[in-house]
Structure 1
Amino acid sequence: MTNDDNPAAKPPFSYPVKVGNISANPVTVKVAADDRERKGLAEVWQVLEVKSLKAEVYLSRWKKDGVRVKGQVEAELVQACVVTLEPVESRIDEQFDQIFVPEGSKLARVIAKDAAEMVLDPDGPDLPEEFAGDAIDIGEAVAEFAALAIDPYPRKSGVEFDDHIESSADSKNDRPNPFAALKDWKKD
């Protein structure tokens, strides 16, 4: 869970939780983004506005050193319609489940019989995410799961691409055929 553009930059929505405070019994954490954090998320997600972002997260130990983060994220966004560019409101309501392990943990490695091939099950669980130090940023994890649920092509209801026609087979193009010059060539 790192920002690839600038590792020193703080994510717009952050809520660090000390791993040492997490026990085998699940702990419930409720997080919500404030105005400043929602503006930062809107910039990162390239949407017009993030009206709300909240999550209820359950944290528990996983195996010896890992932490299981499970919860529900809810968000309300305003995006630009891909047809008219008018504002379109959308709602996100997603469940998530992620395992975090300390950096360098053997639990994060995929054990394969052949070192040259890695087999991943697309329907199976995700690989554990590594964290550095003694804390996991729950806010950043919630923001990532919300970002994955954003509709990449929002469209206002009832709006279609009716006015734009690429080309039709029966219409004549004014451009010359690039292969027309080759029609008189014959191979000897």
Structure 2
Amino acid sequence: MTKETRDPPSPAAPAPLSRPVAVAEVPVEGLDLDIVANAAERAALAKLNGLPEIPALAATLRLRRWRGEGVEVTGELRARLRQTCVVTLEDFESDIVEPIELRFAPPAEEPRARSRRHEPEPEVHEHDARAEDPPDPLIGGVVDVGVVVSEFLTLALDPYPRKPGAAFVEPAPESASNVSPFAQLRRMRDEP
């Protein structure tokens, strides 16, 4: 029996786009931010997302206090991308305009330990898909709006990008050698 060895987990890599903002710095009237990614940040985000290039990436954000110690981030992301078409394998440029809306709140306190003999089990509630999403956890009183922009960029990407006008056309078989072996077997089976 062999024992499998694994390398210890590496520490988390730094975020390719980072703009931390302390919630305490957000005034009551809100805070407007413009984020423009530099060449190194765009290159790191392109590599992370498997893109040939991100020529431009910017976001306009507004941070507002939300329910006391929380913060709401709203705005818009604009990016110019170079992607590879899944049909033609050619690179092409496309634009993304994506709205951003996300809330952060301090994590809920851990429930106190309960005695199994004296307290009933907690009720199980079904999730209502129409209900508002719970806020993301606010760790250390800081929101990294650069990471928020990066995540919304990744979520906006088409996993199967197609160059405008590109369409997959299945090639017609030119000879029996181009016919799949399964089609040949099916033909042999169906012949009398």
Q: TM-score range by the shorter chain?
A: 0.7 to 0.9
Shift of 1:157: 2.0
Please give the secondary structure, in 2, of the residue aligned with 1:173: helix
2:148 counterpart of 1:138: no
Give 1:88 shift. Answer: 1.6
SS in 1 for 2:77: strand
Say which SS state the counterpart of residue 148 (structure 2) adopts: helix
1:94 and 2:101 matched = no
Please tell me whether the aligned partners of residues 26 and 65 of structure 2 are also in contact (alpha carbons under 8 angstroms): yes
Q: Distance in 1 between matches of 2:108 and 2:11?
A: 18
Deviation, 1:6, is 6.0
1:118 maps to a residue whose letter is: E
Aligned to 2:127: 119
Instruction: Count residues with an aligned counterpart.
Output: 161
Confirm whether residue 23 of structure 1 aligns to residue 27 of structure 2: yes
Shift of 1:18: 1.0
Task: Tell me if 1:104 matches 2:111.
Answer: no
SS at the partner of 2:24?
helix
Query: 1:72 offset after TM fit, Å?
Result: 0.6
CA distance in 1: counterparts of 2:132 and 2:149, whole angstroms: 17
Q: Deviations over 1:25-71 (max 9, x none)?
A: 11101111101000100011111111111001100100111001011
Counterparts of 1:65 and 1:89 in 2: how far apart (Å)? 41
Q: 1:53-112: CA deviations, max 9, x gaps? A: 100110010011100101111001001000111002111111111100123359xxxxxx
Asked which structure has the greater CA Rg, the reply is: 2
**Does the Cα contact within 8 Å between 1:58 and 1:69 map onto a contact in 2?**
yes
Letter in 1 for 2:158: D
The two structures have a TM-score, normalised by structure 2, of 0.75
**Aligned counterparts of 2:131 and 2:70: Cα–Cα separation in 1:** 19
Q: Could you say what secondary structure the match of 2:185 adopts?
A: coil
Aligned to 2:38: 34
- In structure 1, give the amino acid aligned to 2:83: Q
Determine the structure 1 residue equivalent to 2:183.
173
Counterpart of 1:186 in structure 2 is none
In the alignment, the residues of structure 1 paired with residue 171 and residue 126 of structure 2 have an alpha-carbon distance, to the nearest angstrom, of 44
Structure 1 unpaired stretches of 5+:
107-112, 166-171, 181-188
Q: What CA distance in whole angstroms lies between the structure 2 residues aligned with 1:164 and 1:47?
A: 28
User: Pairwise CA RMSD of aligned residues?
Assistant: 2.5
Q: Which digits, 9 at most, give the CA deviation of each residue in 1:156-181, with x for residues without a partner?
A: 2222111357xxxxxx822269xx8x
Match of 1:161 in 2: 168
The equivalent of 2:176 in structure 1 is none
Q: Which amino acid aligns with 2:126?
A: M
